[in-house]
Structure 1
Amino acid sequence: MPYVDLCSSASGGSAADDFASVWYTTNTNFCCVSSFDPDKPCIMLLHPPALDSTWMNAQMNDPRISSNYNLIAFDMRCSGKSVSRPTGWHDAYVEAADLAFAHQSLQLPPCHIFAVGNQSVPVILRFAALFPEMCLSLTLCAVPPPTELKHVFTALEEMFQSWCYAEDLESLEHAGMEVVRFVCGNDSDMDLADELIAHWTVHYPPTRRSRTIQAMSVVMNRTPMTRREYEAIRCPVLIIQGEYSDTHPVKYGDTLKECLVNADARTYVVRGGQGFMSMVPSFANIVNQVFFKFLAARERVPSILGPPAEPIPERMRRALEDLSEFVGEPSIADRDPRSSISFSCCKAEVAQAQMDTIRNYAKGQCDAFNPLGHDGRPIRKYSERIQGHWFHGERDGLSYAGNGLSTNDRRIRDRKDTGLSVPHLLPSEPISFEAAQDSRIRRATYNPASFSVDKHVIKGSMNKVMASTGVPLPRVMQGML
C-alpha cells in the first residue's frame, strides 16, 4: 500500500508515543515511486488545507506536467487517508519532518515542490530551510500572511465550530458553503461546491471532529518564520498570488519575496484570482501554465532513486541542530531524531491548549450528527437542497425577497467588480499571539450545550399560569374560564 509509516522509538524522549502513517500517490500506473521514469525530474505536490491529494488532480492530469515529470502527492497528517495519533505538539515543523522522513524512506531524488495555501506553504518553507538538498525549486500558490489575519481567524473559528457541532443537514451544508467561499472565493462554481462539501462530509463529519480541529489548529496557530530560516532557503522560488484574494493578499507574497534574500524569488499575480486557485477551474489552467514555464527554465535533474547520502537518524539530528539555531532554543538539538514530534516548536501552553481542544471536541463525537447514508455516501448534493426560506443568500452573499438575482443584475455585477470574496469593513492585520491564545483557551472549553435555550413549561390551568407570571388574567378570559 502507498503508505510511509513514521514510528518513533520507544527508547525514550517526549515524543516516544508518536505515530503517523502518511499516504501518497503518484502519476505512475501502479502508484509507486519504483515506476518513476529516471529521465524525468520529480515534483512533490502538497494540497490545500482541509483537503487531500485528490484535490491536486488539476496538476496530476495536466499533460504539460504529468507527461514531462514524475509526480508524487502526499496527504498531510489528519488529511485524506493519512492516519496519526492525536497530539497537541502538532505544528508546521512536524509536518516538514514528516515529509523529510517520507522523502528519505522512499529514496526520492531532489524534487521541485508545488504547495498551496495556509497549511502547505508554511510547511514547505520550513522543509526547504531544514532540508535544502531535497529541494530543486519551490512554487507557492496563495501565500498566506505569517499569522492568520484577524477577520479570517475569526471566520475560520466560527465556520469549523458550526461544522463540527452541526445537528442537522441544513446547518452542516450552511457551514460547508461558508468554507467553500474561503477556499474558492465568492464566485465558486456550484459543481465544485458540491464536490467540496461531499468531500468534507465523508472525511470530516461531526463524528470525526477531533481530527478536524487538529488539522485546523495547525493552520490557525502557525507562527512567523525567523530571519535565519528565510536566509537558509536558496533554491529558486515562484510565488503565485490572486489579485482579488482577500484571505491571501498580494502584499504578503511581495513580503515573502523580500525575505528570501538568498533565493531567486519572483512573483506572478493572477488577474481576478481568488481562493487557492490551483483547484478552481477558472484559474487552475493559468496556475499550471505559469508553473510549467517556471520549471521549463530550470535544469532537468533525473529521478534516480537511491538511499540517502547519510543515515536518516544522523540527517535528522543535523536538522534538529539547525532548527535549534534558527529558533534560538538549544534544547531542541537534544531531542530524539527518530520522531517528527521532536521538531515541534509549539510553546508548552500552546501544545496544552491544542491537546485540551482535541479532547474537548472528542467528547460525544461518536453520538454526533452523521450526515452519511447507510452506504457511507452523502445523503444529497448541496445543490439539491430546497431553498424555501428568505434567509438563503444569493451568490453575492446577500438575501433578497422574491426570486434569485440573474447573473446580469447590476447588484451582482457591482459585487464582482469589487473583487472581494469576504466582505468586511476594515482591512485586518495578522493576529497577535495573545489573541490567538485567548481563542485556543476558548476552543478548549467550548460547550455548545451552554448556548441552548431552556424551555420552562408550567403545567396547570390558565389562572395558575398567569398567576406565576404576576400578570392578572384579563376579565374577558376570566369569564371564559
Structure 2
Amino acid sequence: MPYVDLHCADDYASIFYTTNTPHGNVGGFDPRKPSIIILHPLFLDSTWLHLQFGDPRLTSNYNLIAFDMRVAGKSVARLSAHHDSWVDAADLAFCHQALHLPPCHILALDGISVNCALRFAVLFPEMCLSLTLCNVPAPTELKWVVTAYDELMHNWCSAEDLEAYEHVAKEAVTFVVGPQCEADLQDDLIAYWEITMPPQKIAPVVETLCVLMHRQPVPPQALATITQPVLLIQGQMNETCPKINAEKLAAELTNAQGGAVIYSVKGGAGNLSIVPGHASIMNKVFATFLSRQPHQRSELVPPETDKIERMKTALAALAEIIGDSSIASRDPTSSLSFSCLPHDACRRQTEILNKYRDRKTGTFTPVGPDGRPVRRYSDRKAGHWFHGEKDGLSIAGNTFLPPEKKNYDRDRSEKPSSSQESAPDQRLRRGTVTASTVQKQVIKGSMAKVVSTAPAAGHLHRLVA
C-alpha cells in the first residue's frame, strides 16, 4: 500500500495516501492534468471520499490524492500531546516533498482539515495553488461544542454494551451529518466506527478531538500572507460551523487573489462531502472554481530546495508568526517541532490521553468474533424508551393508539362530543372510593321495602374502611 514514512528522533508516523490512478499511487499521475490534494473530514478517512473520487467533473480532469491524517484511517503514528494543526500542516509538507508532488489545489472538507489547510498555505505557499475550505470553524472552538466533544469522548470510551455504543454513535452522526440523516448513511457511519473506533481504540480519536478543542487561532498577519485564490463553501444550517465564521475569515484574507469567495449550500447542516445531494453541489462549485484558475501541469520532479533547508525556513517563518524565537532552532526533521501549543494545553492533552489510554483493556467491543458489526443500526429492536425518534426525542412521545382508534378519532367531529371530550388536556384521574360513590343495587318495589333492605350506615362505613 502507498505510505509515506516520517521518522526522526522524537516522532514516527506512516501516512497513508490514495489517488485516482489505476494503482493508487502518484506514479500514475497524468502530467497534463492539474493535481488536487483532498483532506478528509473529522471522524472519517480517505475511504469516505468516494463521492469526490467518483465524480467525473473532478476525476476526469484532475489528478486526485488524499492523505489520512496521522491518527486517522490507515495512517499509524505515536500518540503525542504536542499534536496540533501546525503539526498536520508539517506532515502534509513532508509528504508533498517526499512524493515530488507539483503545486496542488487544496480541498479541505471539514473544520480540522480547514485548520490544516490554512496553516499549510501560510508556511508552504509554493506548494499550494488555491484553497477551497468547506465549513469554516471558529478561530477557537465554541464553548458548547467543547462540552459536547468532552461528553462524546467519555460516553464513547465507557460504553459497556451495544445499546450504549450505538447511542453515542448516533450522537456522533449528528456532529458529522447534522440532525437529519438518511438511514443508509447512518448505518454505514455507525458500522464504520464500530470496526475502526471501538472503545479500546479510542485514543487516536481523543487526540484528534484535542487538536480541535485546544487549537490556537492563526494570527491575522499570517492570514494576510495568503495570496492564492480562496473559495469558502458553507453549509447554510451548520450549527458547529456557522456562516459568520466564513465571513470573518474572508474579511481577514485581505490579499487572497480576487478576494475570498463564499458560497452557501442550502440545507447543509453538517459535512457536505458525504451527503450525496450536498456533495454534488459542492463538487460542481469546486470544479467551476478550478476551471477559472490558470492551468498547471503535474510533473513529478524533486523539489528545488533541499527538504531539511525548506523545513528550517518554515520553522523560522513560524517563529516570527508566533513570536517565539526558540521555534526556529527546533529539529527540522520532525513534524512535532512545528507544534505551537502552550505548556498548559500540552499538559491537559497529556492528562486526557493518559486517562483514555488506561481504559484500553477490558472494554466492550461492538463487533462480533469475525470483526464485523453484529447488526445494522436500523435493524435494532425498536419500541424501547431508550431509542430516539427522528427529531432526537424519546419514542415515548409517540402515540400507541391502534389504527382503527385513530380513524375513529378523525371522524369524531361528526358526532356530538361531551364537555370532557372537548377538554384540551385529557388525563386519567384516579377514582376515590367513598360512601357516596359505592355502587348501590336498584331494588324495585315500595319505598318501605327499599328502606328495610338497605344496609346500615355503620356497616357501610366499615365496608369502605
TM-score, normalised with respect to structure 2: 0.84
The CA deviation at 1:375 is 1.1
For 2:274, the aligned partner's letter is: M
Corresponding residue SS for 2:254: coil
Alignment partners' CA distance in 2, 1:201 and 1:256:
36
The CA deviation at 1:148 is 1.3
- Asked if 1 retains the 8 angstrom alpha-carbon contact of 2:366 and 2:373, the reply is yes
Q: For residue 161 of structure 2, what is the aligned residue in structure 1?
A: 168
The 1:277/1:2 distance shift into structure 2, 3 A limit, reads same
The CA deviation at 1:122 is 0.4
Q: For residue 375 of structure 1, what is the aligned residue in structure 2?
A: 370
TM-score, normalised with respect to structure 1: 0.81
Alignment partners' CA distance in 2, 1:404 and 1:255:
46
Alignment partners' CA distance in 2, 1:169 and 1:400:
19
Structure 1, 212-221 or 177-186: larger mean CA deviation? 212-221
- Asked if 1 retains the 8 angstrom alpha-carbon contact of 2:383 and 2:395, the reply is no
Q: For residue 290 of structure 2, what is the aligned residue in structure 1?
A: 295
Corresponding residue SS for 1:232: coil
The 1:168/1:291 distance shift into structure 2, 3 A limit, reads same
Match of 1:242 among 235, 244, 263: 235
Is 1:390 matched up with 2:393?
A: no
Taking the TM superposition and a 5 Å limit, the aligned residue runs for 1:146-225 are 146-225=139-218
Is 1:124 matched up with 2:107?
A: no
Where do 5+ consecutive residues of structure 1 fail to align? Answer: 9-15, 406-481
Alignment partners' CA distance in 2, 1:5 and 1:359:
26
Structure 1, 363-372 or 233-242: larger mean CA deviation? 363-372
The CA deviation at 1:388 is 2.7
Q: For residue 461 of structure 1, what is the aligned residue in structure 2?
A: none
The CA deviation at 1:160 is 2.0
Q: For residue 270 of structure 2, what is the aligned residue in structure 1?
A: 275
Q: For residue 411 of structure 2, what is the aligned residue in structure 1?
A: none
For 1:103, the aligned partner's letter is: H
Match of 2:41 among 19, 35, 48: 48
Match of 1:115 among 103, 108, 111: 108
The 1:383/1:320 distance shift into structure 2, 3 A limit, reads same
Q: For residue 338 of structure 2, what is the aligned residue in structure 1?
A: 343
- Asked if 2 retains the 8 angstrom alpha-carbon contact of 1:394 and 1:404, the reply is no
Q: For residue 253 of structure 2, what is the aligned residue in structure 1?
A: 260
Q: For residue 3 of structure 2, what is the aligned residue in structure 1?
A: 3
- Asked if 1 retains the 8 angstrom alpha-carbon contact of 2:234 and 2:246, the reply is yes
Is 1:333 matched up with 2:328?
A: yes
Q: For residue 417 of structure 1, what is the aligned residue in structure 2?
A: none
For 2:207, the aligned partner's letter is: Q
Q: For residue 474 of structure 1, what is the aligned residue in structure 2?
A: none
The CA deviation at 1:390 is 2.2
Q: Report the count of equivalent residues.
A: 398
For 2:135, the aligned partner's letter is: A
CA deviation vs aligned residue, 1:410-461 (integer Å, no higher than 9, x gap): xxxxxxxxxxxxxxxxxxxxxxxxxxxxxxxxxxxxxxxxxxxxxxxxxxxx
- Asked if 1 retains the 8 angstrom alpha-carbon contact of 2:384 and 2:395, the reply is no
The CA deviation at 1:240 is 0.5
The CA deviation at 1:108 is 0.1
Corresponding residue SS for 1:161: helix
Corresponding residue SS for 2:361: helix
For 1:155, the aligned partner's letter is: A
Alignment partners' CA distance in 2, 1:144 and 1:364:
31
CA deviation vs aligned residue, 1:315-345 (integer Å, no higher than 9, x gap): 0000000000011111000001010000000
Taking the TM superposition and a 5 Å limit, the aligned residue runs for 1:13-52 are 16-52=9-45
For 2:72, the aligned partner's letter is: S
Alignment partners' CA distance in 2, 1:56 and 1:218:
22
Alignment partners' CA distance in 2, 1:67 and 1:97:
29
Q: For residue 142 of structure 1, what is the aligned residue in structure 2?
A: 135
Q: For residue 422 of structure 1, what is the aligned residue in structure 2?
A: none
The 1:348/1:404 distance shift into structure 2, 3 A limit, reads farther
Q: For residue 412 of structure 2, what is the aligned residue in structure 1?
A: none
For 1:390, the aligned partner's letter is: W
Q: For residue 309 of structure 1, what is the aligned residue in structure 2?
A: 304
For 2:3, the aligned partner's letter is: Y
Q: For residue 227 of structure 1, what is the aligned residue in structure 2?
A: 220
For 1:393, the aligned partner's letter is: G
The CA deviation at 1:400 is 4.6
Taking the TM superposition and a 5 Å limit, the aligned residue runs for 1:359-438 are 359-401=354-396, 403=398
Alignment partners' CA distance in 1, 2:15 and 2:248:
32
Alpha carbon RMSD of aligned pairs, Å? 1.2
Alignment partners' CA distance in 2, 1:101 and 1:130:
12
CA deviation vs aligned residue, 1:346-400 (integer Å, no higher than 9, x gap): 1122112212211111113121111111111111111111123124221112235
For 2:356, the aligned partner's letter is: Y
The CA deviation at 1:175 is 0.3
- Asked if 1 retains the 8 angstrom alpha-carbon contact of 2:169 and 2:190, the reply is yes
CA deviation vs aligned residue, 1:221-246 (integer Å, no higher than 9, x gap): 11111012101211000000111111
Where do 5+ consecutive residues of structure 2 fail to align? Answer: 401-465
Is 1:322 matched up with 2:322?
A: no
For 1:55, the aligned partner's letter is: W
Corresponding residue SS for 1:71: strand
Structure 1, 118-127 or 205-214: larger mean CA deviation? 205-214
State, as a whole percentage, how many aligned pairs show the same letter: 52
Alignment partners' CA distance in 2, 1:36 and 1:194:
34
For 2:17, the aligned partner's letter is: Y
- Asked if 1 retains the 8 angstrom alpha-carbon contact of 2:10 and 2:334, the reply is no
The CA deviation at 1:131 is 0.1
Corresponding residue SS for 2:65: strand
Q: For residue 437 of structure 1, what is the aligned residue in structure 2?
A: none
Largest Rg, 1 or 2: 2
CA deviation vs aligned residue, 1:21-59 (integer Å, no higher than 9, x gap): 000000000011011000000000000111101111111
Instruction: Give the ranges of 4+ consecutive aligned residues of structure 1 lying more than 3 Å apart after TM superposition.
Output: 400-405
- Asked if 2 retains the 8 angstrom alpha-carbon contact of 1:160 and 1:175, the reply is no
For 2:39, the aligned partner's letter is: L
Corresponding residue SS for 1:401: helix
